[in-house]
Amino acid sequence: MRSGSGTDSGRAARGVRAAILGGAMALLTAGLASSAEAATFGFGCITGSSAINCATGVSQLSLEATPAAGGSYELVLRNTGPSAAVVKNVYFDGVASGVSVLSSSPGVSVRRDSSPGTLPGGTAVRFTTDLSFTARPPAPQNGVGPGEFVKFGVVTTGDLVKALGDGSVRIGLHVISFANGGSESFVTGSRPPAPAVPEPSAALVFGAGALLVGARIGRKGR
């Protein structure tokens, strides 16, 4: 009887271990599946020279991040249009190597800069350029215009989708040729800058002080 009871207990223990192992593998598989999903990211305007231009960029520009073979990723930068706007420069913050252009729309021609450029207005959001790409001249014709795209390949050992989501990797854009001739800068995960609150002028401060003194004198005279 003792022997049979031990056998049953051993089988039960093995069953519990198998169930725990199976549950752990299921959680691991689910985690891997979730981290391997594609995601689309929007852009926020960081310069704010023109509210119309900022709104155009925010509505038309997007970045699709998709896991690819061998632990690499594909990043598709799209300008859906229809308003006039051309992506001239693409900046990477948090990725210093392993980026190349895979494909693009006909007419789009983008090359990697020999030395990283600087995102205009990037200091406001502490954007540090590790590498950058620029449209070949003339940029208004060769950049990413309305209805066009450029696809980048990124080789990395980390989870790029997660990094883009938490901001440890950011993509910056310098966009030109808006309908009014202006330009703006955009960054993934950034919001439009808050409108500046003007400092009160010395005249206003002096005037307010004079009114306060006058009111006090008036009350004393009553």
pLDDT tens by residue, 62-90: 999 999 988 899 999 999 999 999 999 99
Considering the domain architecture, whether residues 21 and 62 belong to the same structural domain is answered as no
Domain holding 23, by residue range, is 1-30
Q: Read off the CATH number of the domain in which 90 is found.
A: 2.60.40
* Buried residues in 133-149 as b, exposed as e (16+ CB within 10 A): bbbeeebeebbbbeebb
pTM of the entire predicted model: 0.71
Return the number of other C-beta atoms located less than 10 Å from residue 111's C-beta.
11
Distance of CA 116 to the CA centre of its chain: 18
Rounding to the nearest 10 degrees, give the CA dihedral for residues 26, 32, 33, 38: 170
pLDDT of residue 215: 43
The CB density around residue 31, as the number of other CB atoms within 10 Å, is 10
61 and 165 share one domain: yes
User: Does 172 share its domain with 64?
Assistant: yes
What number is the average pLDDT over the span 95-108? 96
Task: State whether 25 and 47 are in the same domain.
Answer: no
Say whether both 63 and 169 belong to one domain: yes
> So what's the pLDDT on residue 157?
78
When the pLDDT of each residue in the chain is averaged and rounded to a whole number, the result is 79
CB 170 within 8 A of CB 189: yes
Alpha-carbon distance 177 to 88, whole Å?
A: 9
User: What is the token pair recorded at 58?
Assistant: 């925010």
Does the structure show a pLDDT above 90 at 219?
no
- For every residue of 146-158, which 3-state class applies, written as one string? CCEEEEEEEECCC
